[in-house]
Amino acid sequence: MIGRTVCTGKDSPRAEVQRERILCAAQKCFIEHGFHAASMANIAAAAQMSAGLMYRYFENKSAIVKAIVERQLQDGRAQIEQLHTSADLAASILQTYRLWLARDPSVMNPALYLEMSAEATRDPQIAAALQESDERIFEALQAWMARDRDDRGLGLPPDIASRRAHLLMQVWNGLAVSAVRRPNQDPAAMRDVIEQFVNRLVMP
């Protein structure tokens, strides 16, 4: 212990790397099998480690689920933020939809999004996490819509901004459902739908 720099413990970089491996594997398994059907053994195999080892980094399976939920929410918020920082809202939404259809692993997975939403009706912790995240999204969208056009906002009156933020969230959610239910849909077919919608959404 003396004169030697050890680097262990639950906060060590090593531990962080392991947690990361587990979460990557878990995400893959949850997408493939769902939260309940994916087993700890599945995840361990995907993470190339023994099942027991995972319990060094996560208290139990539920903790892994929670962590994945948290991640998905983050990924979702990241995608939403791109919307109102992009010059072309319609193109941005369409791109999101494309990534969902392509099951791009670097963005929120829409199937997980639905599954964790359903799970929220059974698990209060998940429900709370989702609500909080949705709240943050809504506020960010509304703020952006109400902000001055000079300040990269839409310059809408607050009450209209609120309604449109809500509507945008519904459509965003709806597209996530669509991406899951109609995975072979040609995203181009949605281009006009989205453009028309956006045209009216941003209309003063």
Partner DNA sequence: CATGAATGAGACTTCATTCAT
Partner DNA sequence: CATGAATGAAGTCTCATTCAT
Q: Which residues bind a second copy (CB under 8 A)?
A: 31-37, 111-112, 114-115, 117-122, 127, 130-131, 134, 163-164, 166-167, 169-178, 180-183, 190, 192-193, 196-197, 200
Written as six digits, the tokens of 125 are 């912790």
Q: Which does 38 bind (CB under 5 to 8 A by kind): a second copy, DNA, none?
A: DNA
Q: Which does 87 bind (CB under 5 to 8 A by kind): a second copy, DNA, none?
A: none
Least distance CB 9 / a second copy (angstroms): 12
Provide the 10 A C-beta neighbour count for residue 48: 8
If the CB atoms of residues 57 and 113 are measured against DNA, the closer one turns out to be 57
Question: Of 24, 124, 119, whose CA–CA distance to 67 is shortest?
Answer: 24
Specify the DSSP class assigned to residue 149: G
The distance from CA 68 to its chain's CA centroid, rounded to whole angstroms, is 9
If the CB atoms of residues 19 and 147 are measured against DNA, the closer one turns out to be 19
Q: Which does 158 bind (CB under 5 to 8 A by kind): a second copy, DNA, none?
A: none
Q: Which does 62 bind (CB under 5 to 8 A by kind): a second copy, DNA, none?
A: DNA
The distance from CA 3 to its chain's CA centroid, rounded to whole angstroms, is 45
Length of the chain: 204
Angle at 86 between CA 82 and CA 88, to 5 degrees: 125
Q: Which residues bind DNA (CB under 7 A)?
A: 1, 6, 8-10, 12, 14-15, 18, 37-41, 49-53, 55-56, 60-62
If the CB atoms of residues 66 and 164 are measured against a second copy, the closer one turns out to be 164
Least distance CB 52 / DNA (angstroms): 2
Question: Of 202, 91, 93, 79, whose CA–CA distance to 152 is shortest?
Answer: 202
User: Do residues 113 and 176 make contact, with C-beta atoms less than 8 angstroms apart?
Assistant: yes
Q: Which does 31 bind (CB under 5 to 8 A by kind): DNA, a second copy, none?
A: a second copy
If the CB atoms of residues 102 and 118 are measured against a second copy, the closer one turns out to be 118
φ, ψ of residue 86 to 5 degrees: the values are -90, 155
The whole-angstrom separation of Cα 143 and Cα 137 is 10
Q: Which does 177 bind (CB under 5 to 8 A by kind): DNA, a second copy, none?
A: a second copy
**What one-character-per-residue DSSP string does 32-79 give?**
HH-TTTS-HHHHHHHTTS-HHHHHHHSSSHHHHHHHHHHHHHHHHHHH
If the CB atoms of residues 50 and 196 are measured against DNA, the closer one turns out to be 50
